[in-house]
């Protein structure tokens, strides 16, 4: 049994998509980041960076103690290695898939995330920041579109590289339905993944969690303005 500690955000969806696709038995533990649950001691113990997602594998292949993993790219790789699915076993194939997983976690995720932040979550409008992250996100979509020319999926067949990039493309599309108009290969890829039963199931499970309302001011307080000192303060035992 795998415990999935997450919230249905773009980084969280990657892992529920992956678990569904692999047909692994898993249990969802909601970590409502808008309510500050990422600072709870039990969660910090498995995710020291106070970010979702994280997993606990209570039945690891070596039959030893439970294994905990945090960081979405590391979790996708762990699950692929555990099941032997969605990551090629050849050195050449693995290098290709892992290059695109790292590209997503180091590039598309942070850039699209900052774009969203500066468009949706700042009290003042900062044109330079909006332009900077919008352009970078656009550039990265262009990279993916070129890569998908003549390929069904990023590395040929469906892999953890696709699972990493889909949710960030999806969240952009939810806000800007025309975002992929200039990227026909990316649009075709996006539509194909969106229709996969595992993806539909993963997003449906996420929706169920979202039913918990969070006050906007509280959400802002919990998510933004974190520093080493104020996080350390929050982590002190009460």
Q: Which two tokens stand for residue 232?
A: 């350390």
Measured CA to CA, the distance from residue 238 to residue 234 in angstroms comes to 9
Of residues 34 through 63, those in contact with ligand GSH by CB under 6 A are 38, 50-53
Nearer to ligand GSH, 38 or 137 (CB): 38
Q: Is the dihedral of CA 48, 165, 28, 209 positive or negative?
A: positive
Cα 104 to the center of its chain, rounded Å: 9
Is there binding between residue 71 and ligand GSH (CB under 6 A)? yes
CB nearer to ligand GSH: give 53 or 206. Answer: 53
Q: Which residue has the tokens 């690891």?
A: 60
In the Cβ-directed half-sphere of 14, how many Cα atoms lie within 13 Å?
Answer: 30
List residues bridging with 2 in a β-sheet. Answer: 26, 57
Residue 33 touches ligand GSH, criterion: CB under 6 A: yes
Q: How far is the CB of 67 from ligand GSH (least distance, A)?
A: 17
Our CB check for ligand GSH shows the closer of 146 and 221 to be: 221
- Report CA 113 to chain centroid distance, whole Å: 10
**Tokens representing 207?**
């929706």
Contact pick of 46, 119, 209, 223 for ligand GSH (by CB under 6 A): 223
Residue 150 CA to residue 145 CA, distance in Å, equals 10
Give the range of 8-16, 125-133, 149-157, 165-173 binding ligand GSH by CB under 6 A. Answer: 8-16
Per-residue binding letters, 73-112, with ligand GSH (x by CB under 6 A): x-------------------------------x---x---
Residue 68 phi/psi, 5-degree rounding, is -110, 145
Per-residue tokens: 46: 């498995």
Residues in contact with ligand GSH, shown as a per-residue x/- string from 170 to 209 under the rule CB under 6 A: ----------------------------------------
If one asks whether residue 11 binds ligand GSH (CB under 6 A), the answer comes out as yes
Check residue 115 for interaction with ligand GSH (CB under 6 A). Answer: no
Q: How far is the CB of 232 from ligand GSH (least distance, A)?
A: 14
Q: Where are the beta strands (DSSP E) in 10-98?
A: 26-30, 54-57, 67-70
* Contact residues: ligand GSH, CB under 6 A: 9-11, 33, 38, 50-53, 71-73, 105, 109, 223
């Amino acid at each position: 049994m795998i415990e999935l500690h997450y919230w249905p955000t773009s980084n969280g969806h990657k892992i529920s998509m992956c678990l569904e696709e692999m047909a692994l038995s898993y249990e969802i533990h909601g970590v409502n980041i808008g309510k500050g649950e990422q600072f709870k001691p039990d969660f910090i113990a498995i995710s020291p960076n106070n970010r979702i997602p994280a997993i606990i594998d209570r039945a690891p292949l070596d039959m030893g103690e439970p294994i905990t993993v945090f960081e979405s790219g590391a979790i996708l790789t762990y699950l692929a290695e555990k099941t032997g699915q969605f990551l090629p076993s050849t050195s050449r194939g693995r290098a290709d898939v892992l290059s695109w997983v790292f590209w997503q976690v180091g590039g598309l995720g942070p850039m699209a995330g900052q774009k969203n932040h500066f468009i949706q979550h700042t009290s003042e409008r900062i044109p330079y920041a909006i332009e900077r992250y919008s352009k970078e996100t656009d550039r990265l979509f262009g990279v993916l579109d070129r890569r998908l020319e003549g390929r069904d999926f990023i590395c040929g067949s469906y892999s953890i590289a696709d699972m990493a990039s889909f949710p960030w493309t999806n969240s952009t599309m939810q806000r800007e339905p025309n975002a992929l108009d200039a990227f026909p290969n990316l649009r075709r890829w996006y539509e194909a993944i969106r229709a996969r039963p595992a993806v539909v199931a993963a997003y449906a499970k996420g929706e169920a969690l979202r039913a918990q309302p969070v006050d906007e001011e509280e959400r802002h307080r919990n998510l933004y303005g974190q520093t080493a000192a104020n996080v350390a303060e929050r982590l002190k035992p009460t």
